[in-house]
Amino acid sequence: MNSESKNSQTANSSFSMDDFAKALEKHDYQFQKGQVVHGKVFQLDHDGAYVDIGGKSSAFLPRDEVSLRVVTNLSDVLPMNEELEFLIIRDQDAEGQVTLSRKQLEIQHLWDTLTQMQENSQTIQARVTGVNKGGITVEVLSLRGFIPRSHLSERDNLEALKGQTLTAGFLEVNRNTKKLILSERLATRSSNFSLLEVGQLVEGTITGIKPFGVFVDLEGVSALLHIKQVSQKFIESLEKVFQIGQQIKAVIIDLDQGKGRVAISTRVLENFAGEVVENMAEVMASAEARAHRAANKPSSE
């Protein structure tokens, strides 16, 4: 390679590096879409606010991204020169300016709150906003939710629910798909659950019989009577002992409200191994006295 072509290559490369440096000056690569940043509002106008987030260019907060609530006067919710949190919702434009949102940040916090409430099996107030074939649409903390017809106490006249506020539990909270599905029945079950405690004698209806155990409905709360908790004696087939729709009494031996699980036992009511199988009626008739005795008896296990 001769010296002339070498020089021209150096000139070209230094020019492109200068060009690159100028491009870098316009853009600040520490700010990316989806990032939460701190900044101070330094100017308000009709369309929104200009915010100093410590970049080479100021950032812009459009009026409709200021809050979930309707804002007539921006200065009411955006105090000047006070540090606030923002979410970057649009990458830098040609001038290096990013677009911010306070509203989207509020929405993120709401999803966090709802996720936490679901994990804690809490209930929430939901205002009915509309009706469709499958159920009702509701508003929960400014977010749109849905309650399927099968999860409502009132399933026939849905129109009458419009405008009402219902207490509901959570079936699905998914911020990625913006899916918020609730259940009024779950809230009833949750309030019933709070009345239960370990050692309590409960009465319920058998709703299902499986090889491993029997499902019992305790006024909206489903409990499991495991095959090993039926009797002190080995049981070959539960279908020979129980039937669907049968009323039985049993003692609560374990509770997990988070998972909605209740474990019950008839075994603890027996005076001798196999009594539940041989004389169910007698065990059920004197269940209160047997449960009281079982509660006061020191555990042998």
Structure tokens at 47: 């369309």
Average pLDDT on 210-221 reads 89
Q: Which residue has the higher pLDDT, 276 or 18?
A: 276
Q: With a cut of 90, say whether residue 119 has pLDDT above it.
A: no
For the chain, give the longest Cα–Cα distance: 110
The 10s digit of each residue's pLDDT in 77-118 is 999 999 999 999 999 888 889 999 999 999 999 999 999 998
The residue whose two tokens read 């609560």 is: 252
- Rounded CA-CA distance 166/161 in Å is 9
User: What's the rounded Cα separation, in Å, for the pair 274 and 277?
Assistant: 5
Q: Where is mean pLDDT largest: 18-22, 61-65, 253-257, 292-296?
A: 61-65
Query: How many of the other CB atoms lie within 10 Å of CB of 58?
Result: 18
Average pLDDT, the chain: 87
Q: What is the mean pLDDT of residues 199-223?
A: 91
d(CA 126, CA 167): 6
pLDDT band at 19 (very low <50, low <70, confident <90, very high): low
- Look at residue 278 and tell me whether its pLDDT is greater than 90: yes
Q: What is the mean pLDDT of residues 213-224?
A: 88
Percent of the chain at pLDDT > 90 equals 66
Nearest Cα to 31, choosing from 82, 80, 93? Answer: 93
Per-residue pLDDT for 300 more than 70?
Answer: no
Does the pLDDT value for residue 20 go beyond 70?
no
- What is the band of 11 on the pLDDT scale with cuts at 50, 70, 90? very low
pLDDT of residue 2 exceeding 80:
no
The C-alpha atoms of residue 151 and residue 189 are separated, in whole angstroms, by: 11
**pLDDT tens per residue across span 24-66:** 555 556 788 999 999 999 999 999 999 999 877 889 999 999 9
Q: What is the mean pLDDT of residues 232-240?
A: 93
Higher pLDDT, 273 or 299: 273
Domains of the chain (ranges; CATH) run: 37-101 (2.40.50.140), 108-190 (2.40.50.140), 195-296 (2.40.50.140)
pLDDT bracket for residue 16 (50, 70, 90): low
pLDDT for res 299: 52
Q: Looking at residues 236-254, what average pLDDT do you find?
A: 94
For 291, phi then psi, to 5°, come to -65, -40
Among candidate residues 102, 103, 93, 106, the one with its CA nearest the CA of residue 51: 102
Please give the helix or strand (H or E) that residue 277 lies within, else none: helix 275-278
Between 9 and 116, residue with greater pLDDT: 116
Distance CA 147, CA 169 (A): 10
- Whether residue 271 is predicted with pLDDT greater than 80 in this model: the reply is yes
Q: Answer whether 225's CB lies under 8 Å from 216's CB.
A: yes
> At 9, is the pLDDT very low, low, confident or very high (cuts 50, 70, 90)?
very low
Structure tokens at 301: 């296990």
